[in-house]
Amino acid sequence: MRSATRLIILFLLITAGNNWFLQAQAQEVRADLIWETPRVFQTPESVLYDAGYDVMYVSNINGDPAARDGNGFISRLSVHGDVEVLKWIRGLNAPKGMGKIGDVLYVSDIDVLVEIDIPSQKILNRHAADDAVFLNDITTDRNGNVYISDSQSNKIYRFDGMNMELYFDDPVLDHPNGLFCRDDLLYVGCKDKILKINLIDRGYKEVMHGLGTIDGLNVDGTGNFIVSDWRGKVQYVVPPDTRILLFDTSAESIRAADIWFETALQMLYVPTFSDGRVMAYKISRD
């Protein structure tokens, strides 16, 4: 019994030490503003860094987020914040999330997935998602699949390069938005929680709750999360319960929509929605 008691005490001490280390590690994370663009974008919702071309793409809703008005467009932005082409791709309605496979850029647009050839700067196809209402964020896996959240109908769709299918439809989804694939896991930012879905058997588990309504969701190089809510709050999250506020611009009505964190550069890019800018922050760990 004494040996068992010692082992239990040792386990509790190690667990407490690990929790303290995680919290201390998270407390040393900070975000420093490096640059910000002029207010030239029209309702910028999402930003994506393209390492192959060393540029960024910005989706501009430019109107009602649910209107089929043809006003939406994609901008091309340098990594230093220079607007290279404001209306690089035109002819969209209300573009939101973006993902990239090879030389193809995928964009969610209300109820279709738009396929864009980057070298030719042309729209190749539009793939309809049956019964979709409000397609939002996009992520891709290592097998070339594209996942798209539908925040209004509480579903996740998957496009395999040829066919669109309803991939995940379960009451556990509550306004799913931010998506991120890592290995065989799909992380989903919902209202007040992060879920992880096993891509092989579609089993799911809650990772953390109490985070507000998540818009953007990224996994950093250490396995922790950076999440944004649309109001303007961006947090660094260490499961199971550590939250560190990186910044909160909600008081200035500067939103934080679908963020992008580039691990290689340790840079966080934030589209500010109605504020019309993209802001870049260096993430540092002292």
pLDDT 10s digits, 110-163: 999 999 999 999 999 999 999 999 999 999 999 999 999 999 999 999 999 999
Is pLDDT above 60 for 20? no
**How far is Cα 214 from Cα 190, in angstroms, rounded to an integer?**
6
Regarding beta strands 260-262 and 267-271, do their DSSP bridges make them parallel or antiparallel, or are they unpaired? antiparallel
**Residue 4 confidence class, pLDDT cut points 50, 70, 90:** very low
Of the candidates 270, 249, 251, 271, the residue with the CA atom closest to the CA atom of residue 43: 271
Across 238-253, average pLDDT:
95
Does this model's pTM top 0.85?
yes
- Strands (E) in 132-203, as ranges, are 135-140, 146-150, 155-159, 164-168, 179-182, 185-198
Given this model, what pLDDT does residue 222 score?
87
First-to-last CA distance in the chain? Answer: 43
- 243 residue type, one letter: R
**How far is Cα 99 from Cα 97, in angstroms, rounded to an integer?**
7
| Concatenated DSSP letters of 229-262 | ETTSEEEEEETTTEEEEEEE-GGGT----B-EEE
Q: To which H or E segment does residue 2 belong?
A: helix 2-27
Regarding beta strands 112-117 and 72-78, do their DSSP bridges make them parallel or antiparallel, or are they unpaired? unpaired
**How far is Cα 127 from Cα 129, in angstroms, rounded to an integer?**
7
Give the rounded distance of the alpha carbon of 25 from its chain centre.
23
Q: What is the pLDDT of residues 188-211, one digit of tens each?
A: 999 999 999 999 999 999 999 999
Given this model, what pLDDT does residue 14 score?
35
Output the CA torsion sign for 261, 241, 197, 125. negative
Domains of the chain and CATH, by start: 2-285 (2.120.10.30)
Please report, for residues 43, 91, 109, 258, the alpha-carbon distance to residue 145 in angstroms, rounded to integers and kept in the order given: 28, 25, 18, 20
Of the candidates 102, 173, 183, the residue with the CA atom closest to the CA atom of residue 137: 173
Residue at token pair 């990594």: 79
CB atoms within 10 A of CB 158: 18
**How far is Cα 161 from Cα 109, in angstroms, rounded to an integer?**
17
Is pLDDT above 60 for 43? yes
Per-state percent for the chain, helix, strand, coil, to nearest 5: 10, 55, 35
